[in-house]
Amino acid sequence: MDHRVLPTKPTLIFLLLASIGAARIAATYRSVAQTSDETPNIACGMQYLDLGRYDYGAFHPPLARLAIAVGPYLYGARAQKLPDRWKEGNAVLNSAPRYGKALTLARLGILPFFLLACTIVWLWGRKLLGEWGALAPVFLFTNMPPVLAHAGVATMDMAIGAGICTALFAYTLWLEEGSLRRAIFFGLGLALALLSKFSALLLLPVGIAAITVLHPRARQKRNWAWIPVAFLLIWGAYSFSFGTMTEHVASDAAGQGGIFAKIPTPLLHALETVPVPAPELLDGLWQVHNHVDAGHTAYLLGRHSFHGWWYFFPVALAVKTPLAILLLAVLGVLALGRASPDERGRALWKSMRLPAVLTAAILAINLPTSLNIGVRYMLPLYPLLALTAGIGTVWLWRRYRRAAIILLVWTALSSAAAHPDYLAYFNELGGTHPERILVDSDIDWGQDMARLGVELQRRRVPYFHMACLYTGDDTRLGLPAWDSLEPYQPVTGWVAVSHTMLQNYGWMVSQQRGRKELAFAWLDQYQPVGRVGKSILIYYIPASDTGK
C-alpha cells in the first residue's frame, strides 16, 4: 500500500501560481535592457565571489549580490579588477562567453527570493484563511507589477522583500511555540533580512514589536538559538572578518551636523578604532548614513528635491499598485474592523490583524525617508499588503462573489497588460503621462535602451544626440553614431532623451550651475516624434531651427 502523502489541490494551485509568476518574470529577461543598479551589483558580487573582497560598495550587505554573481561565475565570468564598480560590472559581463546570457544568469539569482516570498505568503495565508483562502493573497502577490519588475532584475529589492516577510512570519511561529526548530527558522529569517539590505535594521524592530503586542503566544520555555544562529550567519557572510572600520566617522559627522555631530569626538574615534566582528557591516551602515545625509535627486508631481517628501511613498503606492488590490486591502481592513469575534476566535482575529498593522508600520517607517528613489523601497510591504487584500478577497467572496470575481479579473488583466514593462507600470490613476508623477526606477531605469537601437534603425537615423539613463555597455545596443546631449546646449537633428535625465539630472545640473531652468528645458518647445517603450522620447530638431 502506497502511504506517500500527495499534495492537496490548493497546494498544487499554489505551485502553479508561483510557477506562472516565475515564468512571467523570466520572460522579461530578453526585452528588459540592463538597468541602472544592476551594473555595480554584479561588480560587487563578483569581487566577493572571485577575489574574496568586498570593498566596491559596502553600503549593501553581500547576500543578494552573491546570488547575482553565482550564475555568471559558473558561466565563466570573472572579476576584472577595475577601480570603478560601474565599469567593472560591464567588464565582468563582457568576460563571459556571451554578455546577454551572463546578464540573464545574474537575474536568475534573484528568482529564488521571489519564490520564497510566494511561499511565505502561502504559508502565512494558510494559517489565517485556510488552504483555499490562502490562494487569494498568493494570486494577488504574483500579479503585482512592481513585484514582477524587481524580481526580474539583478538588484536587492526582491531579496529584502522576501527577507522581511520571512523573518516576521518566523517570529510569529516562534511566539506560538518556542522550540529549537522554530528558533533556528527565526534566526535564518533574521539573517536573510539583514544580509539583504540595511533597511531591515529599521523595519524589523518595529515589525517585531507590533507582532509581540498583537500576536498570541504560548506560555512555555523558549529556545533562544535564533540569536547565535543569526549572528553566525551574518558574520559568516562577511567571512568571519574581525578588525576596525575604514570609514572616517568622526570627520564625516563633524562636517554634517545632525545627531552624530553631538556625540563626543572621542567616542566616534573609538568606534573607528575598536576591532569588531564584520567591520564591513559598520562601514556599510555609515555609507548609507552619508548617502541619506547628502540626499538624492527625487521627483514627484512636478517638484524636485534632494531630501524628498513625507508623502512620496503613499503617492507611489497609490499609482504603482493595481487599484483592485488597493480596494481589496481596504475591504480587508474594514472587514477586520467590523468583526466581533467570540472568545474562541479572538486569537485568530488578532493574528489576522497583523498583516494590515505590519503594512501600515512599514509605510510609516518609510514616510520620513529622504531617499525617495522609487516604489521598489516598498517591496517588504507588498507581501503583507497581499495578505491584507487576501483577507478582503475572502470576505468579499463569501458575501458578494460576483464583485470579488470582478476585482480579481481586473487585477489579472491590469497585470497582464503591463507585460513585459512591469517596471514602468502605473495603474489607471497614472493617466497618459505618468512621467509627470514619478521618474527614476518607477518608469525610467535604462530598461528600454535595447529598443532604442531597433527604433533608430527603423527610422534610418544615421546620427543622434543622446541623454538617456544607462549604465550598461552601449556598444552592444546596435545604436547609430551618437554623441552626448550636453546641458544647456541646444542641437539640431535627432535627439533621444529619457525621463529621468529630463527631470532628475536636468534639475541637479540646474542646482549646480545656479540656473532656474532645467538643463534640457529647451526641448519643451518641441513635440517628440516618437517614444521608445515608456521611458525614452525621440525628437527631430530641424536644421533650420536657430535655437542652437
Containing 160, the helix (H) or strand (E) segment is helix 157-176
Going by DSSP bridges, is the β-strand pair 276-277/530-532 parallel, antiparallel, or unpaired? unpaired
What's the pLDDT score for residue 268? 79
pLDDT at 344: 44
Residue with cell 574581525: 242
Q: Are strands 463-467 and 481-484 parallel, antiparallel or unpaired?
A: parallel
For 481, the enclosing helix (H) or strand (E) is strand 481-484
- Give the whole-angstrom CA distance, residue 395 versus residue 109: 37
CB-CB contact of 159 with 147 (8 Å): no
Residue 216: other Cβ atoms inside 10 A: 13
The C-alpha atoms of residue 250 and residue 246 are separated, in whole angstroms, by 12
- Collect the ranges in the chain with pLDDT lower than 50: 1, 343-344, 547-548
Is-contact 522 317, C-beta < 8 A? no
Task: Tally Cβ neighbours within 10 Å of residue 133.
Answer: 19
The set of cell numbers assigned to 144 is 503585482
440 to 118, 300, 336, 444: CA distances (angstroms):
27, 10, 36, 5
Angle of the 99-108 helix axis to the 85-94 helix axis, nearest 10: 110
pLDDT of residue 374: 93
Q: 262 CB contacts (<8 Å, ≥6 apart)? A: none
Q: Are 76 and 461 in contact (CB under 8 A)?
A: no
Nearest to 234 by CA among 200, 209, 271, 273: 200
Q: What is the pLDDT of residue 352?
A: 81
What's the grid cell of residue 301?
A: 508631481
C-beta separation of 308 from 369 below 8 A: yes
Backbone angles phi, psi at 436, to 5 degrees: -80, -10
**Residue of 282, 305, 295, 275 lying closest to 439 (CA atoms):** 305
- Please tell me the predicted confidence (pLDDT) of residue 346: 58
Question: Residue 165 corresponds to which cell in the numbers above?
Answer: 516577510
The pLDDT value recorded for residue 259 is 75
Question: Please, are residues 467 and 505 in contact by the beta-carbon 8 Å criterion?
Answer: yes
- pLDDT score for 227: 95
Maximum separation of any 2 CA atoms in the chain, in Å: 88
Whether residue 547 contacts residue 541, with contact meaning beta carbons closer than 8 Å, is answered with: yes
- Residue 262: the pLDDT is 73
Three cell numbers at 394?
475572502
